[in-house]
Amino acid sequence: MRSGGRRASPTARQPESPDAAYAEAVKRLARQPQSRATLALRLARMGYADEAVRGALDRAQADGYLDDQEFAASLVRRRSQGRGHALIAQELRAKGIEDLDAVAALADVEPEGERALNLGRVLLARKQPANPDELRAIVGPRLSRRGFSSGLVYRTCLTLSDEWQAAGAFDRV
């Protein structure tokens, strides 16, 4: 056993066998959905031959266990509440999702402007900025860190500032 209580990853008993690699792939996919690229890397690290990995992944995909489009859509649904397109797209690329699948998955979520505005409102719910500059200092960096573009962050801060100004919220501080 390695430190931290995690066991060392098992090694392939039959490294040339596509059937053994397929069984391992299905076992891993049952635990957690993965992209084709991530699963291929894990199987290769376990010692399965490239040909066995390719055969296992093709079979898993044909049997419906492995679907990069569905994986991308699922990841986008989970991450989209508090993150911008850029950060989600970066995570998809890191997991080996093709750009076309990433774009399709990102197109199905709520428009990014609405998400940024809603998140900005949530961030301001616990704060009482005294002026528009303070509002920008609270909201701007947080939205940027969550992967929203600088232009969208700027527009969101202006909209929120206008909302607070119209509601007289700056006067109450």
Residue with tokens 């040339």: 16
Encoded tokens for 118: 């809603």
Closest among 122, 134, 126, 121 to 160, alpha carbons compared:
121
Query: What's the half-sphere exposure (Cβ side, CA atoms, 13 Å) at 40?
Result: 16
pLDDT at res. 7? 46
Determine the Cα–Cα distance for residues 22 and 144; give it in Å rounded to an integer.
41
Looking at residue 13, the DSSP 8-state letter turns out to be: S
Q: What is the pLDDT along the chain (173 residues), one digit of tens a residue?
A: 445 555 445 566 788 889 999 999 999 999 999 999 999 999 999 999 999 999 999 999 999 999 999 999 999 999 888 888 889 999 999 999 998 889 899 888 878 888 899 999 999 988 888 899 999 999 999 999 999 999 999 999 999 999 999 988 777 65
Taking only the tens place, the pLDDT of each residue in 20-45 is 999 999 999 999 999 999 999 999 99
SS3 assignment for 32-87: CCCCHHHHHHHHHHHCCCHHHHHHHHHHHHHCCCCCHHHHHHHHHHHHCCCCCHHH
The CATH class that applies to domain 68-107 reads mainly alpha
Encoded tokens for 37: 């690229």
Residues 6+ apart with CB under 8 A from 52: 15, 16, 17, 18, 20, 21, 43
Determine the Cα–Cα distance for residues 149 and 79; give it in Å rounded to an integer.
16
pLDDT at res. 173? 52
Q: Where are the domains of the chain?
A: 10-62, 68-107, 112-172
**Helix, strand, coil in percent for the chain, rounding step 5:** 70, 0, 30
Give the helix/strand (H/E) hosting 113.
helix 112-125
pLDDT at res. 4? 52
pLDDT at res. 171? 73
pTM of the full structure:
0.73
